[in-house]
A and B are shown apart, each in its own frame.
Chain A
Amino acid sequence: MSARDDILGGIRRALRRGPLPAETQAALAERVAAHRRNLIPARAASLAPAARIDLFVAMAEEVQTTVARVASNDQIPAEVARYLVAENLPAELVMAPDPGLAAIPWDSWPLLDIRRGRAEPGDAVSLTLCLAAVAETGTLMLVSGPDTPTTLNFLPDTHIVVVRAGQVVASYEDGWDLVRNRATGPLPNPPPLAGEGRVGAPAGWPRTVNLITGPSRTGDIEQRIQLGAHGPRRLHIVLVDECSGPEGFGNAPAVG
């Protein structure tokens, strides 16, 4: 008997039953397909958009993320340049080949040396967009894809993320819905019970969803927190208050 069948058989024996009846399986499949939300804390869910954004900024700053607010797209290059100077970093960065970032007038700041692509070992600074920003804990949600390589989020010492104010959502659950809506194919549920038809993550479901809350840290030596254990030492957010960005700016509309 294969290990798989042995384990599944062992589970049924221990639970003193055979395979689940079809109607129970259908009910469970329905539970998965509905992916109903459980209790969501009122902290962020109860807030109007402006207060939700303020909460996001406060929670992000609490975990040593730095946040700069700018009024519009046009001010992003200047803010990035200012940040790099203030942190004594070179004016070089690697940027996600994201169409949403192409809409920003980088030419207005020609001293910024920008390469587009994935991160390589020598890259000191990366710049990306995100899919959403979760106010509840100051968490950024980024998804992988051809335009959004994951290495940008982890390899360089400094990660700069451009967040549109309209992308600030209340909860992780709001973020999951954005990932689901973004997937182009049908969602995997309800799964076929007899093993027929397509199951699994839909076309467009990303390889990775990264929830990032502050820079890398460790408390492994005497429980004294050090930033920059293996991932970025600095996480800087440029929060753009202008809600109606150009077409393609940002990956998705905010919900809620």
Chain B
Amino acid sequence: MDATSHAFPANARAGLADPTLQRALGLARTGFPARRQQAIERLPEFEELREEGRAIKDHTLAHLDFYLELYERNVIASGGQVHWARNAAEAREAVLGICRAVGARIVTKGKSMVAEEIALNDHLEANGITPVETDLGEYIIQLRHEPPSHIIAPAIHLMKEQVADAFRAAHTELDPGRPLDDPRALCDEARTILRPHFLAADVGITGANFLIAETGSSIIVTNEGNGDLTQTLPRVHIVVTSLEKIVPTLEDAATLLRLLARSATGQEFSSYTTVSTGPRRPGDLDGPEQYHVVLLDNGRTDLLGGEFQDMLRCLRCAACLNHCPVYAAVGGHAYGWVYPGPMGAVLTPALVGLHEAGHLPNASTFCGRCESVCPVKIPLPRMMRHWRAREFAQALSPPTYRWGLRLWAMLATRPALYHAFAEIAGRALGWAGRGRGRFRFLPFAAGWTQVRDLPAPEGRSFHSLWAERQRSGGKR
């Protein structure tokens, strides 16, 4: 999909002003964090598992070439094929080539953020192939022609009335007077509508949560069972995934699986965890005849060995989105690309460029909740700071902002000057605000005072009070 991350400020304002979105986000704000907390409280080893998960991913990334080659050998040995793709265009062509080779007309899809990243649906449609999203959330947003707003709950920005409207508009063969006023009815309708598509599809496309070097397997984790119908019923299964999903063994995957569902939805384990290894075996009564893996790089290997390597540990659980005050306020669409929230603020500039996505690492309060809930301890705030430093070094931010920062740096690196300025400014503001104790308006601070009052300083700075206390020998 085309990124609109450069429009983050306008996107965010629109999100804040949208009452329906705010209602939907209100549900997410409380639900996910509470369920996660309950789940990890039931597992005393959770913290140790996080450390192990981090170590597994770090070990794999340090030897990524070895594990990818082993993985490829094992995929081939089990009868599958691996298609390496340097970028989105190569991945799209690989998928299209496989679809064309079998004369595919209908393609069912399980939820895959990598498929969103390479804008696969548009490419298939442009080439006369009909992609049908089968994850309920993905199906809803496909009907509404919009991108996902959350990596595990793509339609989290919608209320049920909007889903009902989308279904009435799309399912015109059904009785227009049917009741669609609760999630149960909507879920049943989607099940009924999508079932024939599962059966008619020529090709099924899924993503992968993990790739296993030991066995050449891919693993998907779902709750709906749509991914399994997608990959079991058609003649061809294509796994569209990216190369950092690899881990050495099934045991390593088990450790990460214990972290994944708890961090994502607060479940002990998702309903379906499926390990797929190659196509159907001789004698099997079902399963695809062909098994392909499209292995995407798209800028990820550039992150190895540098200050953003830790991002490649990401399990895509969305805990950082679910705990982010900025995401909770503006929603996922504001971020303007596939990956929203803190993980998106770090990953998007790497994948689409800092000139496009420079706003995202700035859209943070640096509260640190994202890092504290990350199952593999990715230092997200630190990496956002790295992006900010690069943005400054590359002169991508507006001149006023840059001059402001320079002025601040000049002040902050000269303690004597800073203390003198702080003392004068503090006293002046304290005096000016002595009546109300706060400011409703202040020159050059409209960004603050437009939406809240600025408390007036007491008059003296902490530094000067501390210095006085030291001089008096700590007695006061």
Residues of chain A having any CB pair with chain B under 8 Å? 2-4, 6-8, 10-12, 14-16, 19-20, 24-25, 28-29, 31-32, 35-39, 41-43, 59, 62-63, 97, 117-119, 121, 137-139, 144-146, 149-151, 153-155, 171-173, 176, 188-189, 191, 195, 198-201, 205-224, 226, 228-232
Contact for B271 among A43, A151, A209, A212, CB less than 8 A: A212
CB neighbours of A223 from chain B (8 A): 27-28, 31-32, 153, 156
Q: Are B225 and A201 in contact (CB under 8 A)?
A: no
Shortest beta-carbon distance from A60 to chain B in Å: 11
Shortest beta-carbon distance from A134 to chain B in Å: 9
Docked CA distance A211–B271 (Å): 8
Known: A176-B250, A216-B223. 18 other contacts (CB 8 A): A8-B69, A24-B66, A41-B45, A149-B285, A150-B228, A154-B232, A172-B257, A200-B75, A201-B278, A206-B277, A207-B281, A208-B232, A209-B275, A218-B223, A221-B136, A223-B156, A226-B187, A230-B134
Docked CA distance A118–B280 (Å): 13
**Taking each of A2, A201, A216, A221, which has the highest tally of chain B beta carbons within 10 Å of its own beta carbon?**
A221
Task: Given A10-B301, A32-B248, answer yes or no on A3-B86 (Cβ-Cβ < 8 Å).
Answer: yes
Task: Given A14-B301, A151-B232, answer yes or no on A213-B187 (Cβ-Cβ < 8 Å).
Answer: no
Q: Are B183 and A201 in contact (CB under 8 A)?
A: no
Docked CA distance A32–B272 (Å): 25
Q: Are A14 and B248 in contact (CB under 8 A)?
A: no
Docked CA distance A118–B75 (Å): 26
Q: Which residue of B lies closest to A2 (CB)?
A: B84
Q: List 26 A-B contacts (CB under 8 A).
A: A4-B84, A8-B65, A8-B69, A11-B64, A12-B65, A15-B64, A16-B305, A31-B249, A32-B214, A41-B49, A63-B268, A145-B284, A150-B286, A155-B229, A200-B74, A200-B216, A201-B217, A206-B281, A207-B281, A207-B284, A211-B274, A219-B153, A219-B223, A220-B135, A228-B188, A230-B195
B279 CB within 8 Å of chain A:
yes
Q: Which residue of A lies closest to B51 (CB)?
A: A39
CB neighbours of B258 from chain A (8 A): 41
Docked CA distance A155–B250 (Å): 27
Sorted from nearest, which 10 A-B pairs have the closest CB atoms?
A: A200-B77, A231-B225, A229-B224, A146-B283, A14-B304, A220-B137, A211-B273, A137-B269, A209-B275, A118-B285
CB neighbours of B283 from chain A (8 A): 145-146
CB neighbours of A200 from chain B (8 A): 73-78, 216
Docked CA distance A226–B160 (Å): 13
Interface of A is mostly: loop
B358 CB within 8 Å of chain A:
no
Q: Which residue of A lies closest to B278 (CB)?
A: A207
CB neighbours of A138 from chain B (8 A): 268
Contact with A along B64-96 (1 / 0, CB 8 A): 111111101111111000001110001000000
Shortest beta-carbon distance from B209 to chain A in Å: 12
Contact for B268 among A119, A121, A213, CB less than 8 A: A213
Q: Are B254 and A173 in contact (CB under 8 A)?
A: yes
Docked CA distance A176–B252 (Å): 11
Q: Are B275 and A198 in contact (CB under 8 A)?
A: no
CB neighbours of A38 from chain B (8 A): 52, 56, 251-252, 254-255
Contact with A along B220-259 (1 / 0, CB 8 A): 0001111011001100000000010000111110110110
CB neighbours of A226 from chain B (8 A): 183-184, 187
CB neighbours of A195 from chain B (8 A): 73
**Taking each of A28, A32, A189, which has the highest tally of chain B beta carbons within 10 Å of its own beta carbon?**
A32
Docked CA distance A155–B225 (Å): 9
Q: Are A212 and B186 in contact (CB under 8 A)?
A: no
Within 8 A of A (CB), among B122-137: 134-137
CB neighbours of A154 from chain B (8 A): 225, 228-229, 232
**Taking each of B49, B69, B214, which has the highest tally of chain A beta carbons within 10 Å of its own beta carbon?**
B214
Within 8 A of A (CB), among B12-70: 24, 27-28, 31-32, 43-45, 48-49, 52, 56, 62-70
Q: Which residue of B lies closest to A215 (CB)?
A: B271
CB neighbours of B217 from chain A (8 A): 201
Q: Which residue of B lies closest to A214 (CB)?
A: B271
Q: Are A39 and B255 in contact (CB under 8 A)?
A: yes
Docked CA distance A251–B216 (Å): 23
Task: Given A42-B45, A63-B268, answer yes or no on A35-B251 (Cβ-Cβ < 8 Å).
Answer: yes
Q: Are B187 and A171 in contact (CB under 8 A)?
A: no
Q: Are A220 and B271 in contact (CB under 8 A)?
A: no
Docked CA distance A85–B267 (Å): 31
Within 8 A of A (CB), among B313-343: none
Within 8 A of A (CB), among B257-314: 257-258, 265, 267-281, 283-287, 297, 301-306
B402 CB within 8 Å of chain A:
no
Q: Which residue of B lies closest to A118 (CB)?
A: B285
CB neighbours of B281 from chain A (8 A): 144-146, 206-207
Q: Are B278 and A39 in contact (CB under 8 A)?
A: no
CB neighbours of B265 from chain A (8 A): 219
